[in-house]
């Protein structure tokens, strides 16, 4: 999974990858105060490519504790559960599921948008691949706007950046590869070496994406994210971070 | 004489030979057309009466009949009934009769033609009828009644099924007690299937030395379509559209259910025994989140409990014991029984004891007319209508033929339910259970179908109180192909835990290529389904019409449609005449049997097809700002991860 964090005040994009294993669940947003958690479960490609198995988000879980609503989005179905009752839609439908404050809007074979009242929204994109591809598998992307109103203590791989950290990028210089400049990134008391690169935003073009230039933090975001990425592994799709 | 295989004789003692008996049935997206053809030869030196007697499903519409007698062809035309009768009386055919005879069978009626054949004469009969396949308990069932009456040199039954949605399963159960094991041949693809039944003469014999035919019964084909992928299917063709809606993957909505059981004296014996047996199974099937009670009535009304109770094991066990102890006797006070049931539900609702997301049902089981209390059926109907709340559905089961089924049907249709007649014999239990199973799993409430474009017209009933698992709601309509090349639909409903808004878009030519590729596919299927639904809904509306003027208006529309679509309905008759027009027969529909058979589980209502409920606000996807900082194009790091499906 490729993370792109847009920092509105600094007007900069910072990106990092999390390289974990299929089956693991990463916490993206943990906000016990608002009662919201967002987690993503990893799946692997059909087989390794160049000795490396790619991982993607195959399932995303949204928990809205105050509504007792859980939304699970996989590459096949979209499930809304409230208490013990469930409604399931498939990606072949265009539909809306409305449960009091939570609205799930599904656009056939494209996106699911979850809104909580009108204050918060989350978009999930479906990436369908050619079924017979020897390596690639269907996967999901998630987009969370920085305007979402979380509590001051929200955390998670994405949530921690809702309250924007101060950063300073300086000393831009040629990198080891002349075409990939490097720079120094000062954040959270660390000074990190970052590399200029391009990531993709697929919201307007699901196949080719739109290039997003960003400063890439190596080693699974070490120094940019709080603690280590393994601290963001959670046991279930609706878990909150314990620490 | 005409010989069979190995020179064996096929004639019966009366020297009549059945040369061929063919049944061909094509189902295109639940629209079924069936042709039955029989060729007979009279090998006797004497004239003989020959009967062409076929059973057709009640609710099917006969669309054509022809008969060729030694080169003279009789063809049919559809006329308004009085016109048909008048034509018939002008030129009654000699030695020939035809008619539609209502049978005591619950779901079939007989079409019978009898002619007097001269020695050596050859006759060919051919009948066509149309019907719609309704989904029940998770499958469509296509029944073909085979009754050649004697051994046939060529007996061929072919069923072609074409379902664009794709078939989830198809099978042909054994309905001949194993006699024809291995004879039906099934070939099934994803969207098409063919079932063939062609027993040889030897296979047709009841035993190796018998001359009677074992082909007497029903060939049944059961299938269902794929539903996992989409919740609904909108099919558009030739200026008509049909919308099939049967979502899976929904949790059941809790139900509040009141069983109102007739325990008058006439229920004594096998009827009560069977009812008790069915009720025990039904009670065991209740879910923990359901609430229920039992009201039994004769000239008095009793309740097992005065209120609804949760369907716990203890309560169910207690209710079963109560029912087992009932001894039928006395008269029948339907009015009080229903009012008591309605009162229990209303009280529970007033006290806030009902889950706001639950569904309320009353199931009335009765075998006779009221004999105590309010006797006037129209007054009972009025009392129920005045007291029942909008969120309660009333379903009625009439046991046997002594009950006024028409009354039960009106009562139920008026109160968001349906009625059904069942036999009062050793099958009562299974029929009762089967009926209950159709309503035991409510999955959606308040289902409304909207087609926002103004070019969409003549939409059939599009507003339904409930949707039950295992069934299917079908809505159809017309549109102007010159103004629209696609149909948009918005279906709104409430599930166990959410409001649902389902949007579907179907293109005009989505089906064209698919249908053109198969010679068996019926290109008129959308039109026929629309006509079938409309006529049946109009017939039901007609029986509920409160004024003569309304009734006349509906009658006129039904008649117009029946003539336009060339089908025999309760308002039309089939005139069968020779080329000269001097010999006629009349196949006149029996008086409308109210126990027949729109076939549907739903009696809905109509709302303007573009009137989307106010709470539906299909909001556009929120504009999430795209925070892209302009940057020089650089080689991406890490390695590119674009997945390009087209270039694979």
Give yes or no for A138 touching B (CB within 8 A).
no
Q: Is residue A133's pLDDT more than 80?
A: yes
Q: Which residues in chain A (224-243) have CB-CB distances under 8 A to chain B?
A: none
Give yes or no for B284 touching A (CB within 8 A).
no
Range in A141-145, A180-184, B644-648 with the lowest mean pLDDT: B644-648
With contact defined as beta carbons under 8 Å apart, do B315 and B307 qualify? no
Q: Is residue B9's pLDDT more than 70?
A: no
Cβ-based contacts of B507 with chain A (< 8 Å): none
Give yes or no for A219 touching B (CB within 8 A).
no
Closest of B505, B448, B474, B456 to residue B242, by C-alpha: B474
Which residue shows structure tokens 């997945």?
B643
Q: What angle do CA B552, B558, B563 make, to 5 degrees?
A: 125
With contact defined as beta carbons under 8 Å apart, do B281 and B381 qualify? no
Give yes or no for B230 touching A (CB within 8 A).
yes
Give yes or no for A66 touching B (CB within 8 A).
no
With contact defined as beta carbons under 8 Å apart, do B109 and B590 qualify? yes
Q: Across the interface, do B634 and A123 touch by the CB < 8 Å criterion? A: no
Q: Is residue B502's pLDDT more than 50?
A: yes
Question: How far are the Cα atoms of A138, B335, B373 from residue B377, in angstroms, in the given order?
Answer: 62, 9, 11
Output the average pLDDT for chain B. Answer: 86
Nearest CB neighbour to B626, from listed A89, A115, A203: A203
Give yes or no for A208 touching B (CB within 8 A).
yes
pLDDT of residue B599: 65
Judged on CB neighbours under 10 Å (0-12, 13-18, 19+), B196 is: middle
**Distance between CA atoms of B591 and B58, rounded to whole angstroms?**
12
pLDDT class of B40 with cuts at 50, 70, 90:
very high
In chain B, which residue's Cα lies nearest the Cα of A101?
A: B498
In chain B, which residue's Cα lies nearest the Cα of A177?
A: B635
Cβ-based contacts of A77 with chain B (< 8 Å): 249
Give yes or no for A201 touching B (CB within 8 A).
yes
Nearest CB neighbour to B637, from listed A127, A136, A180: A180
Cβ-based contacts of A136 with chain B (< 8 Å): 643
Chain centroid to CA B268: 31
Q: Which residues in chain A (158-187) have CB-CB distances under 8 A to chain B?
A: 179-180
pLDDT of residue A178: 78
Give yes or no for A202 touching B (CB within 8 A).
no
Q: How far is A169 from chain B (nearest CA, A)?
A: 15
The two tokens of residue B572 are 């039309």
**Distance between CA atoms of B575 and B93, rounded to whole angstroms?**
11
| Proportion of chain B above pLDDT 70, given as a percent | 90
**Distance between CA atoms of B253 and B473, rounded to whole angstroms?**
17
Which residue shows structure tokens 């606000």?
B617
pLDDT of residue B105: 59
pLDDT in tens, B563-583: 999 888 888 888 888 888 888
Give yes or no for A83 touching B (CB within 8 A).
yes
Nearest CB neighbour to A87, from listed B229, B250, B504: B250
Give yes or no for A111 touching B (CB within 8 A).
yes
Q: Which residues in chain B (504-533) have CB-CB distances under 8 A to chain A?
A: 504-505
pLDDT of residue B101: 62
Give yes or no for B633 touching A (CB within 8 A).
yes
Judged on CB neighbours under 10 Å (0-12, 13-18, 19+), A9 is: exposed
Q: Which residue has the higher pLDDT, A226 or B592?
A: A226
Range in A41-45, B244-248, B346-350, B584-588 with the lowest mean pLDDT: B584-588
pLDDT of residue B338: 97
pLDDT in tens, B69-82: 888 898 999 889 88
The two tokens of residue B101 are 């005879």
pLDDT in tens, B316-375: 999 999 999 999 999 999 999 999 999 999 999 999 999 988 999 999 999 989 999 999
**Distance between CA atoms of B106 and A193, rounded to whole angstroms?**
83
Strand ranges (E), A83-208: 85-90, 94-99, 102-107, 111-116, 120-127, 139-143, 167-173, 182-187, 190-201
pLDDT of residue B401: 81
In chain A, which residue's Cα lies nearest the Cα of B637?
A: A197
Q: Is residue B118's pLDDT more than 50?
A: yes
Q: Is residue B170's pLDDT more than 70?
A: yes
pLDDT class of B510 with cuts at 50, 70, 90:
confident
pLDDT in tens, B476-497: 999 998 888 888 999 999 999 8
Nearest CB neighbour to B498, from listed A12, A77, A99: A99
Q: Is residue B537's pLDDT more than 60?
A: yes
pLDDT in tens, B188-220: 999 999 999 999 999 999 998 888 999 999 999
In chain A, which residue's Cα lies nearest the Cα of B619?
A: A105
pLDDT class of B627 with cuts at 50, 70, 90:
very low
**Residue B198: how many other CB atoms lie within 10 Å:** 14
In chain A, which residue's Cα lies nearest the Cα of B499?
A: A98
Bin A227: left if φ > 0, else alpha if -120 < ψ < 50, else beta: left
pLDDT of residue A162: 94
pLDDT of residue B617: 59
Q: Across the interface, do A81 and B497 touch by the CB < 8 Å criterion? A: yes
Which residue shows structure tokens 């997206």?
B29
Closest of B182, B135, B359, B179 to residue B258, by C-alpha: B359
pLDDT of residue A13: 95
Strand ranges (E), chain A: 2-7, 12-17, 25-31, 36-44, 55-64, 69-74, 77-82, 85-90, 94-99, 102-107, 111-116, 120-127, 139-143, 167-173, 182-187, 190-201, 210-217
pLDDT in tens, B443-458: 999 999 999 888 899 9
pLDDT class of B136 with cuts at 50, 70, 90:
very high
ipTM score of complex: 0.77
Nearest CB neighbour to A145, from listed B624, B637, B643: B624
**Distance between CA atoms of A61 and A116, rounded to whole angstroms?**
15
Helix residue ranges, H only, B285-375: 313-324, 334-350
pLDDT of residue B622: 33
Q: Residue B53: in which H helix or E strand, if any?
A: strand B48-57
Give yes or no for A129 touching B (CB within 8 A).
yes
Cβ-based contacts of A200 with chain B (< 8 Å): 641-642
Judged on CB neighbours under 10 Å (0-12, 13-18, 19+), B273 is: middle
Closest of B373, B462, B464, B454 to residue B413, by C-alpha: B464
With contact defined as beta carbons under 8 Å apart, do A155 and A31 qualify? yes
Q: What angle do CA B599, B604, B610 make, to 5 degrees?
A: 125
DSSP 8-state class, residue A157 = T
Q: How far is A96 from chain B (nearest CA, A)?
A: 5
- Give the sign of the dihedral formed by CA A83, CA A85, CA A89, CA A90: positive
Q: Across the interface, do A210 and B498 touch by the CB < 8 Å criterion? A: no
Nearest CB neighbour to B230, from listed A93, A146, A203: A93
pLDDT of residue B624: 35
pLDDT of residue B287: 95
Q: Across the interface, do B497 and A85 touch by the CB < 8 Å criterion? A: yes
**Distance between CA atoms of B255 and B257, rounded to whole angstroms?**
6
pLDDT class of B10 with cuts at 50, 70, 90:
low
pLDDT in tens, A150-188: 999 999 999 999 999 999 999 999 988 777 899 999 999
Q: Is residue B274's pLDDT more than 90?
A: yes
Q: Is residue B641's pLDDT more than 60?
A: no
Q: Is residue B643's pLDDT more than 70?
A: no
**Distance between CA atoms of B403 and B409, rounded to whole angstroms?**
11
Q: How far is B503 from chain A (nearest CA, A)?
A: 5
The two tokens of residue A111 are 């996106």
Q: Is residue B224's pLDDT more than 60?
A: yes
3-state DSSP assignment of residue B354: coil
Give yes or no for B623 touching A (CB within 8 A).
no
First-to-last alpha carbon distance for chain A, in angstroms, is: 23
With contact defined as beta carbons under 8 Å apart, do B369 and B403 qualify? yes
Q: Across the interface, do B636 and A197 touch by the CB < 8 Å criterion? A: yes
pLDDT class of A200 with cuts at 50, 70, 90:
very high
B563 phi/psi in degrees, rounded to 5: -70, -40
Q: Is residue B179's pLDDT more than 80?
A: yes
With contact defined as beta carbons under 8 Å apart, do B506 and B235 qualify? yes
Mutate to test the interface with B, among A49, A85, A92, A116 (most CBs of B within 10 A): A85
pLDDT in tens, B252-267: 999 999 999 999 999 9
Give yes or no for A113 touching B (CB within 8 A).
yes
pLDDT of residue B625: 35
Q: Which residues contact A205 (CB under 8 A, 6 or more apart)?
A: none
With contact defined as beta carbons under 8 Å apart, do A180 and A65 qualify? no
In chain A, which residue's Cα lies nearest the Cα of B250?
A: A87
**Distance between CA atoms of B192 and B165, rounded to whole angstroms?**
10
Q: Is residue B619's pLDDT more than 60?
A: no
């Amino acid at each position: 999974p490729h993370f792109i964090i847009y920092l509105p005040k600094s007007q900069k994009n910072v990106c990092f990858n999390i390289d974990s294993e299929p089956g693991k669940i990463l916490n993206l947003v943990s906000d016990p105060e608002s009662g919201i958690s967002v987690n993503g479960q990893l799946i692997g490609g059909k087989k390794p490519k160049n000795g490396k198995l790619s991982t993607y988000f195959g399932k995303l879980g949204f928990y809205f504790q105050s509504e007792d609503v859980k939304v699970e989005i996989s590459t096949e179905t979209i499930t809304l559960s409230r208490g013990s009752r469930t409604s399931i839609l498939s990606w072949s439908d265009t539909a809306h599921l409305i449960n009091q404050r939570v609205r799930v809007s599904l656009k056939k074979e494209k996106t699911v948008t979850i809104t909580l009242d009108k204050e918060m929204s989350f978009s999930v994109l479906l990436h369908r691949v050619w079924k017979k591809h020897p390596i690639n598998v269907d996967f999901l992307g998630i987009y969370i706007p920085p305007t979402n109103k979380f509590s001051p203590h929200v955390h998670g791989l994405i949530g921690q950046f809702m309250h924007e950290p101060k950063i300073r990028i300086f000393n831009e210089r040629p990198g080891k590869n002349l075409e990939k400049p490097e720079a120094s990134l000062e954040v959270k008391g660390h000074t990190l070496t970052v590399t200029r690169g391009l990531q993709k935003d697929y919201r307007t073009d699901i196949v080719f994406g739109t290039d997003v230039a960003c400063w890439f933090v190596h080693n699974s975001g070490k120094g940019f994210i709080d603690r280590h990425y393994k601290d963001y592994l959670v046991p279930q799709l609706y878990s909150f971070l314990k620490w | 004489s005409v010989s069979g295989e190995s020179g064996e004789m096929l004639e019966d003692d009366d020297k009549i030979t059945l040369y061929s008996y063919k049944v061909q049935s094509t189902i295109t997206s639940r629209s079924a057309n069936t042709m039955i053809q029989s060729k007979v030869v009279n090998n006797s030196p004497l004239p003989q009466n020959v009967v062409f007697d076929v059973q057709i499903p009640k609710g099917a519409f006969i669309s054509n009949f022809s008969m060729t007698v030694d080169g003279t062809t009789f063809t049919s035309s559809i006329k308004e009934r009085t016109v048909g009768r008048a034509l018939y009386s002008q030129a009654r055919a000699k030695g020939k009769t035809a008619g539609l005879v209502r049978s005591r069978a619950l779901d079939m009626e007989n079409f019978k033609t009898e002619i007097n054949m001269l020695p050596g004469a050859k006759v060919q009969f051919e009948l066509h009828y149309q019907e719609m396949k309704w989904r029940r308990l998770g499958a469509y069932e296509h029944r073909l009644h085979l009754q050649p009456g004697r051994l046939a040199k060529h007996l061929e039954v072919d069923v072609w099924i074409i379902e664009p949605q794709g078939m989830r399963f198809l099978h042909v159960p054994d309905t001949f007690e194993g006699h024809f094991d291995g004879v039906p041949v099934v070939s099934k693809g994803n969207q098409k299937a063919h079932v063939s039944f062609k027993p040889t003469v030897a296979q047709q014999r009841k035993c190796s030395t018998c001359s009677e035919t074992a082909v007497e019964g029903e060939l049944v084909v059961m299938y269902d379509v794929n539903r996992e992928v989409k919740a609904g299917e909108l099919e558009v063709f030739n200026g008509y559209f049909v919308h099939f809606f049967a979502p899976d993957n929904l949790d059941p909505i809790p139900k509040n259910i009141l069983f109102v059981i007739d325990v008058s004296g006439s229920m004594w014996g096998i009827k009560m025994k069977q009812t008790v047996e069915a009720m025990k199974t039904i009670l065991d099937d209740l879910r923990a989140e359901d609430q229920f009670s039992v009201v039994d009535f004769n000239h008095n009304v009793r309740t097992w409990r005065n209120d609804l109770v949760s369907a716990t094991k203890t309560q169910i066990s207690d209710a079963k014991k109560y029912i087992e102890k009932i001894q039928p006797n006395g008269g029948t006070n339907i009015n009080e029984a229903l009012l008591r049931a309605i009162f229990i539900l209303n009280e529970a609702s007033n006290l806030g004891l009902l889950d706001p997301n639950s569904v309320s049902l009353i199931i009335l089981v009765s075998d006779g007319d009221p004999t105590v209390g309010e006797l006037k059926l129209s007054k009972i109907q009025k009392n129920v209508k005045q007291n029942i709340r909008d969120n309660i559905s009333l379903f009625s089961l009439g046991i046997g033929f002594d009950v006024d089924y028409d009354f039960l049907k009106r009562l139920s249709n008026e109160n968001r339910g349906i009625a059904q007649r069942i036999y009062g014999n050793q099958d009562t239990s299974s029929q009762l259970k089967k009926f209950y199973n159709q309503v035991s799993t409510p999955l959606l409430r308040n289902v409304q179908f909207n087609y926002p474009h103004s070019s969409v017209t003549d939409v059939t009933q599009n507003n339904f109180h409930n949707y039950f698992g295992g069934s299917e709601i079908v809505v159809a309509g017309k549109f102007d192909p010159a103004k629209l090349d696609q149909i948009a639909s918005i279906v709104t409903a409430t599930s166990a835990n959410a409001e649902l808004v389902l949007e579907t878009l179907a293109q005009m030519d989505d089906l064209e290529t698919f249908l053109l590729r198969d010679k068996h596919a019926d290109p008129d299927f959308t039109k026929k389904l629309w006509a079938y639904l409309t006529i049946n809904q109009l017939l039901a509306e007609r029986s509920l019409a409160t004024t003569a003027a309304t009734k006349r208006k509906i009658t006129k529309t039904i008649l117009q449609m029946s003539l336009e679509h060339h089908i025999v309905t309760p308002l039309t008759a089939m005139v069968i005449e020779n080329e000269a027009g001097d010999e006629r027969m009349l196949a006149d529909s029996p008086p409308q049997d109210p126990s027949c058979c729109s076939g549907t589980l739903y009696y809905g209502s109509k709302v303007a097809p573009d009137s989307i409920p106010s709470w539906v606000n299909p909001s556009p996807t929120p504009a999430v700002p795209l925070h892209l900082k302009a940057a020089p194009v650089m080689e991406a790091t890490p390695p590119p991860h674009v997945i390009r499906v087209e270039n694979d």
